[in-house]
A = this chain, B = another copy of it.
Amino acid sequence: MKMQVGILGYGNLGRGVECAIRQNPDMELAAVFTRRNPEKVHILTESAKVCMVDEIESWTDKIDVLILCGGSATDLPEQTPKYAKLFNVIDSFDTHARIPEHFANVDAAAKEAGKVAVISVGWDPGMFSLNRLYANAILPEGKDYTFWGKGVSQGHSDAIRRIAGVKDAKQYTIPVEEALEAVRNGENPELTTRQKHTRECFVVLEEGADAAKVEEEIKTMPNYFADYDTTVHFISEEELKANHSGIPHGGMVLRSGKTGWNKENSHLIEYRLKLDSNPEFTSSVIVAYARAAYRLAKEGQTGCKTVFDIAPAYLSSKSGEELRKMML
C-alpha cells in the first residue's frame, strides 16, 4: 500500500506538491482539500478526489500525511496546529521571526494528538537552514553568508503591484557578483544590504500613469527597496507575459572558516541552488519530508520537528543498506 498524501490548498505550491508526488512511486495523492467550490478546482491526478475542506475530518483514516500549502501570513499559523490534531502534517512556514512561536503551537497540538508535524520545510527555511547548521557545526570559527537569486520575489512583486498606476509587475532579486566573489575568495567581507543584492523591476503601467512617479515610489519604498540599488523597467503587458511569467529562484549559503592550531588554514563551504520553479522545488523538498514524517509516525514519534531533527536517511525511499552502498 502506497503512502497516502492529502493536499490542503491548491495554488502554485499545492500543484507543485501534486507533481512531486507523481515522481515518487512509493506515494499517492489521495485528495486535495480546498476552500473553493471543488467543482471549479481542476487537478491533474485522475485518481485523486477534490473535496471541500469542511469534509477533511472524514479523511483521518485515509490519509497518512497532510501537506499544508497555504500562506505563512495568515493560513499556516492557524491551520498547522489545527490539522496536527488530526493528521501527520508538513508545512512550509517561512516567517523566520515567528518560527519559535509557530513551533510551540504545533508541537503542543501534535503531541496531544500523537501525530508528527514538520514545519518550515522548503529551501529557505529548509535546505539553506540545514546547510547553515552543518557548516557551523563543522567550522565553529567562521562567517556565514546567504545570497538569494537571481529570482522572483513574490513579496516585492506584490509590493509594486499595490502602487497606484501599476497594472502588473515582476521583481528579481540579484546577488552582487563582486560580493559573492569576495566571499568565495575567503576575504570575509562585511557586507551591507546594498552590497549583497540588487533589485530589478519590470513594471506594466495603467494607461495614463506617471512613470517617473511610480519609479520614485518603488525606489524609496522602505524595507522593500530603499536599502537597495533598484532598477525599474517599464514594459508592455505582452512583454511581461512573454519574458517574465516564470518563477525562477535560487541562491547560495556560504560559510568561510578557519582551522589549525593558529587558525592558519581557510575553508569555504558553499551550497547553491538554481531553480527554474521556486514552488516546484519547494514542493519537492516538502514531499521528501512527508515521507520522513510518515516513517517517524510509524515509529511512534510525536510532536513538532524541523529539518534539523530528522536524520537524512528518512527522506529517501532507499533502505539503509542501499544508501550505504550507493551514496556513501
A residues within 8 Å of B by Cβ?
16, 18-20, 22-24, 44, 96, 99-100, 103, 120, 125, 127, 129-134, 136-141, 184, 186, 259-261, 265-277, 280-281, 283-285, 288, 291, 306-313, 315-317, 320-321, 323-325, 327-328
Q: Out of B268, B291, B306, which one reaches A273, CB within 8 Å?
A: B268
Return A208 CB to nearest CB of chain B, in Å: 38
A100 contacts across to B, CB distance below 8 A: 321, 324-325
Report whether B309 and A308 are in contact in the complex, using a CB–CB cutoff of 8 Å. no
A323 contacts across to B, CB distance below 8 A: 133, 308
A96 contacts across to B, CB distance below 8 A: 328
Cα–Cα distance between A22 and B186 once the two chains are bound (Å) = 22
Report whether A306 and B324 are in contact in the complex, using a CB–CB cutoff of 8 Å. yes
Report whether B276 and A328 are in contact in the complex, using a CB–CB cutoff of 8 Å. no
Report whether B281 and A273 are in contact in the complex, using a CB–CB cutoff of 8 Å. no
Report whether A140 and B315 are in contact in the complex, using a CB–CB cutoff of 8 Å. no
A138 contacts across to B, CB distance below 8 A: 127, 281, 284-285, 288, 315
Report whether A316 and B137 are in contact in the complex, using a CB–CB cutoff of 8 Å. yes
List 5 contacting pairs A-B, 8 Å CB cutoff, sorted by A. A100-B321, A270-B271, A270-B272, A306-B328, A311-B311
Q: State how many copies of this chain the complex holds.
A: 2
Return A288 CB to nearest CB of chain B, in Å: 4
Cα–Cα distance between A224 and B18 once the two chains are bound (Å) = 47
Q: Out of B265, B284, B309, B327, which one reaches A133, CB within 8 Å?
A: B327
Report whether A280 and B259 are in contact in the complex, using a CB–CB cutoff of 8 Å. yes
Return A125 CB to nearest CB of chain B, in Å: 5
Report whether B273 and A315 are in contact in the complex, using a CB–CB cutoff of 8 Å. no
Report whether B271 and A259 are in contact in the complex, using a CB–CB cutoff of 8 Å. no
Report whether B125 and A328 are in contact in the complex, using a CB–CB cutoff of 8 Å. yes
Q: Out of B134, B272, B280, B307, which one reaches A272, CB within 8 Å?
A: B272
A132 contacts across to B, CB distance below 8 A: 327
Other than A96-B328, A268-B275, A272-B272, give 8 A-B pairs with Cβ distance below 8 A. A22-B261, A23-B141, A99-B328, A133-B315, A133-B327, A137-B315, A259-B283, A308-B327
Report whether B272 and A266 are in contact in the complex, using a CB–CB cutoff of 8 Å. no
Cα–Cα distance between A24 and B291 once the two chains are bound (Å) = 34
Residue of B nearest to A321 (CB): B100
Report whether A312 and B130 are in contact in the complex, using a CB–CB cutoff of 8 Å. yes
A328 contacts across to B, CB distance below 8 A: 96, 99, 120, 125, 129, 306-308
Report whether A265 and B277 are in contact in the complex, using a CB–CB cutoff of 8 Å. yes
